[in-house]
Amino acid sequence: MNLNPFNRIEDGTRRTAAQAVTVVVLMGGLAWASVPFYDWFCRVTGFGGVTGVAEAGSDEILDQTVTVRFDASVERDMPWRFKPAQREMEVRIGETALAFYEATNTSDVPVAGSASYNVAPYDAGGFFEKIDCFCFEMQVLQPGQTVQMPVSFFVAPALVADREGQYVHTITLGYTFHEAPLPDEEQQAALDAGLITATAPVVGTQN
């Protein structure tokens, strides 16, 4: 029989450490798995104002209309100007609409950006369907370049029958651009053009 109290303390410490490691690994695994699940859940339900994606327009167009407002922002220190080309538009529910956002790279080097988005109120998220959008792909703007970026969408007719959605008369579509790593081919093109140097920090890239 092991009566040494120090051995018992040492064994207890090892068990506690092992349990702590197991908990950390388990929580890390759950956190990793929850990201794609949460993203899928938001896209399916519109939770948190996340919009849906449709391959084509609606087969049904109602006489009822809804006002869609547009908002734009960029993350702090990103050298872009970003704004909606129109502040709002009135569309019939089920009707395919086309809106534009404008972005300008105010720096002297290429900058890449990815857009996150949501709609408000959150109840409208599951009924706001995008057919095509600049936010589906990374955008790269050359120094001083200004581009018009389209988004086509419709508000699903099911909105008017939804318990909460039927009271929604105005929807705000918002985008925020975040600086992204510059793709290798864009970085090489900038190097070849002398816009950047191999040793200089490159806007839009990350180590």
pLDDT value for 113:
96
Q: Where are the alpha helices (DSSP H) in the chain?
A: 5-45, 184-192
Q: Which residue in 206, 41, 19, 50 sits closest to 133, CA to CA?
A: 50
Q: How many CB atoms lie within 10 A of CB 205?
A: 20
**Torsions phi, psi for 188 (to 5 deg):** -65, -40
Contact 100, 149 (CB under 8 A): yes
Q: How distant is the alpha carbon of residue 114 from its chain centre?
A: 7
In sequence order, what are the residues at sequence separation of 6 or more whose Cβ sits closer than 8 angstroms to the Cβ of residue 131?
53, 54, 55, 56, 57, 96, 152, 153, 154
Three-class SS state of 6: helix
**pLDDT truncated to tens, each residue of the chain (207 aa)?**
555 555 555 555 555 555 544 444 444 443 333 334 434 334 433 344 466 888 889 999 999 999 999 999 999 999 999 999 999 999 999 999 999 999 999 999 999 999 999 899 988 999 999 999 999 999 999 999 999 999 999 999 999 999 888 899 999 999 999 999 988 777 666 665 666 666 544 555 443
pLDDT value for 48:
44
Token pair listed for 17: 């450490």
Three-class SS state of 198: coil
**What distance in Å separates the CA atoms of residue 174 and residue 151, rounded to the nearest whole number?**
12
Look up tokens 């706001």; give the residue: 128
Q: Residue 69's beta-bridge partner residues? A: 88, 172
DSSP 8-state class, residue 193: T
**Torsions phi, psi for 110 (to 5 deg):** -65, 145
Task: Report the length, in residues, of the chain.
Answer: 207
pLDDT value for 31:
38
**What distance in Å separates the CA atoms of residue 177 and residue 135, rounded to the nearest whole number?**
9
Q: Which residue in 98, 90, 91 sits closest to 61, CA to CA?
A: 91
Domain extent listing, the chain: 1-45, 52-192
Q: In the CATH hierarchy, which fold is given to the domain comprising 52-192? A: Ctag/Cox11 (Pfam 04442) (2.60.370)
Look up tokens 């970026």; give the residue: 149
